[in-house]
Amino acid sequence: MATRRLRATLAGLLAGLTIVSCSSSAGSTHVAATPHAPTWTRATGHPIESSPVLAGSTLYVGDSDHEVMAMNAATGRLRWTLRTGDYVVSSPAVWDGTVYVGSDDHKVYALDAATGQVRWAHATGDQVSSSPAVAGGVVYIGGTDHFVYALDAATGRVRWTHATGGDVVSSPAVAGGVVYIGSDDHKVYAVDAATGRVRWTFATGGDVVASPAVAGGTVFIGSDDSKVYALDAATGQLRWDYATGNLIDSSPAVSGGTVFIGSDDDKVYALDAATGQVRWAHATAAEVDSSPAVSGGTVYIGSNDDKVYALDAATGRVRWTHAVTDIIVSRPLVARGTVYVGSQDGVMYALPEVSG
């Protein structure tokens, strides 16, 4: 199986935090001249598993060189970088002018979105590969110290923590005052967003590394037992499950009554959200650990066969593919006619939405 979480620890952690100026030594940018090539690429030189997020005109993403990067979304030019003490697998969230992100240096960071300056950093007991969700002035995130954290967005103060029985690599979804998240103890948790009290748990047959999606009163999530689950959001009762051919690290996207998700059986699935029936399945040439994004009737997703796929959401037909030089675990971001995605080849790609 391909690298799942970039979990190996680099020798010799870098001490302290450094704001790096946006000089040409921090990577290179290429702006393409033809509509069938990338609009731009940004070479970082280090694998990117983090998924990008866009706020205003700036794209934010992490990489395995311990950095959080802010790029001009139109050109790929670096605006700032912040060096943490270990891999940044976590995907940033931006709220009220602040970038929130975890690092495998055990910390959750709040950074000024304009400058990259640290506003606060909260130390947990282990790596933070989970990605934050921000709701109601609170940052929710998991840690491999087995805890789910609720932190004050302004100060980093702990509002509450909840202990699970395993690493929490899954990222939270917050809906209706409830935090939904998976754990390597094989369970899906529904936790009260205000108090941290458990409302329900659901036991699967494997680690729950994937992150949930909540739609129409249902929680959709995959497990390393190879199944996709649909759970009642209020009670945790099973509505349906669907068995793929291998473990699932991909996190679902729900659109138009359809659940889209990848599996390590090399396929991308479209499942009826109400019944779990397969609408279509598209076979790639390797595991699909990337998570889908849906826009304009098209599903965008990466594969460990080193390609980005654009698939017709209704039929699964390939609209285009774009080949890179290493696996893609990062979830694509689609905005303003552009598909942004990172790769383990150390490059951030900006691809025209209409072509590959």
Amino acid letter, 335: A
pLDDT at 9: 30
Q: What is the pTM of this model?
A: 0.91
Dump pLDDT digits (tens) for 20-40. Answer: 333 333 444 444 333 468 999
pLDDT at 355: 56
What's the chain's average pLDDT?
91
pLDDT at 6: 40
What are φ and ψ of residue 260, in 5° steps? Answer: -110, 135
Please state the domain extents for the chain: 125-283
161 exposed, middle or buried (CB, 10 Å; 0-12, 13-18, 19+)?
A: middle
Amino acid letter, 149: Y
Dump pLDDT digits (tens) for 171-213. Answer: 999 999 999 999 999 999 999 999 999 999 999 999 999 999 9
Q: Which of 46, 42, 43 is nearest to 10 (CA)?
A: 46
pLDDT at 37: 86
What are φ and ψ of residue 24, in 5° steps? Answer: -65, -20
Dump pLDDT digits (tens) for 125-161. Answer: 999 999 999 999 999 999 999 999 999 999 999 999 9
| Greatest C-alpha distance within the chain | 54
Give the full edge-to-edge strand order of the sheet including 258-262. Answer: 253-255, 258-262, 267-272, 278-283
Contacts of 139 (CB under 8 A, 6+ apart): 93, 100, 108, 110, 132, 133, 149, 150, 151, 152, 153
pLDDT at 308: 97
Domain 125-283 sits in CATH at 2.130.10.10
pLDDT at 1: 38
Whether the per-residue pLDDT at 71 is higher than 70: the answer is yes
